[in-house]
Amino acid sequence: MHVPYRAVASAVTFLAALAVAAPASIAKERSFTSEKHGFRLVTLVEGLENPWSIAFLPDGRMLVTERPGRLRIVSKDFRLDPNPVAGLPPIVEAGQGGLFDVVLHPGFAENGWIYISYNGPGSGGWATELLRARLEGNRLTDTQVLFRMQPKSRKGQHFGGRIVFDRKGFVYLTLGDRGDKERAQQFDDHAGSVIRLHDDGRVPDDNPFVNRAGTRPEKFTLGDRNMQGAALHPQTGELWTHEHGPQGGDEVNVMRAGRNYGWPVITYGVNYGIGTKIGEGTAKPGIEPPLHYWVPSIAPSGMTFYTGDRFPKWRGNLFVGSLKFQLLARLELEGEKIVKEERLIQGELGRIRDVRTGPDGYIYLLTDASDGVLARIEPAN
């Protein structure tokens, strides 16, 4: 099988130039009502190719990743720079793999570091990697690869790829099982886990498996299938994730050091097509049960705790995008219990890939499509 290795610096600029956004003055707007707020959905940028992640620069610009291997800049007035950012390493576009998340270091204003996850090539195939670099004009400089998932394989699914910093400055990277479910229970394999590192890629001394023989010291958890949403709880500071189940059984979890989240030993999902049981059931001693699960699957991707001021009645709610049902799920919490779900904008925008609370208090969305969009949710008034 031939797999294209695409670097952002490769000859894709011509195609990218065709994807210039419409100016904000002719942005598309649609109005909606919900249980707690009226709002409008505004399309800001069109012509993105399978966009995956958004990051907000302090000067009002945005960075957007495109899965085929391009990092784009969106101006303050929502114009898409036709020239992708140069300087990314080789990126493998294979199945679900490609360019994933982009996140600013919490101290970006002082150090200028940007963190990026992507599907990188290597011995045995390809797998999720993490780098940091600085943005100078339209190019990445001082690039440092901080982590390479091992072992690599040639499968095209379950890469994870979300990046989150906690309040102590540790960086977390979510990884999928790479389509081999047994890997998620193996201590000597990075697959199916959350990775925890210092911001320069060093392994923290207090990682749960750091002194255990036959383990990967970067591992923070195990037993995860494919986490494509991750966010820090605004009160507790703990890392929350959601992950894809198989046929049913998408989950929301709180990631804690050394915990086993069960895949494929326990799950609320079943085997695709035939509906047969996976593993040992839905619960087992010593394995963390999910806080919330979906049957049927919604195919979750992207997640944010709303912390802004534009929608005061939504403050503290968890917002999760759905690829399958093309909706935004609003989850109300009481502590670590999810007590209510409201489904918004179903079928109105497309497959929701990323969900972010912007520094301006709006909720920003990306859609996973060959002609994907950047949109935001604003108050009706």
Q: Which residues are catalytic?
A: 158
Q: Give the CA distances from residue 311 to residues 38, 240, 316, in Å, rounded to whole numbers and listed in that order.
A: 9, 22, 10
Q: How far apart are CA 269 and CA 248, in angstroms?
A: 4
Structure tokens at 174: 């979510």
Q: Give the CA distances from residue 208 to residues 84, 161, 238, 260, 339, in Å, rounded to whole numbers and listed in that order.
A: 39, 21, 16, 12, 31
Q: How far apart are CA 239 and CA 340, in angstroms?
A: 21
Q: Which of 19, 112, 13 is nearest to 59 (CA)?
A: 112
**Residue labelled with tokens 């929608």:** 311
Q: How far apart are CA 49 and CA 16, in angstroms?
A: 9
Return the number of other C-beta atoms located less than 10 Å from residue 80's C-beta. Answer: 23
Structure tokens at 271: 């085997």
Identify whether the C-beta of residue 367 lies closer than 8 Å to the C-beta of residue 351: yes
Return the number of other C-beta atoms located less than 10 Å from residue 214's C-beta. Answer: 8
Q: Which of 138, 137, 155, 153 is nearest to 70 (CA)?
A: 138
Identify whether the C-beta of residue 327 lies closer than 8 Å to the C-beta of residue 334: no
Structure tokens at 227: 């986490």
| Residues β-bridged to residue 53 | 65
Structure tokens at 341: 């779900």
For the chain, give the number of residues.
381
Identify whether the C-beta of residue 215 lies closer than 8 Å to the C-beta of residue 258: no
**Phi then psi for 298, rounded to 5 degrees?**
-100, -5
Structure tokens at 266: 């326990």
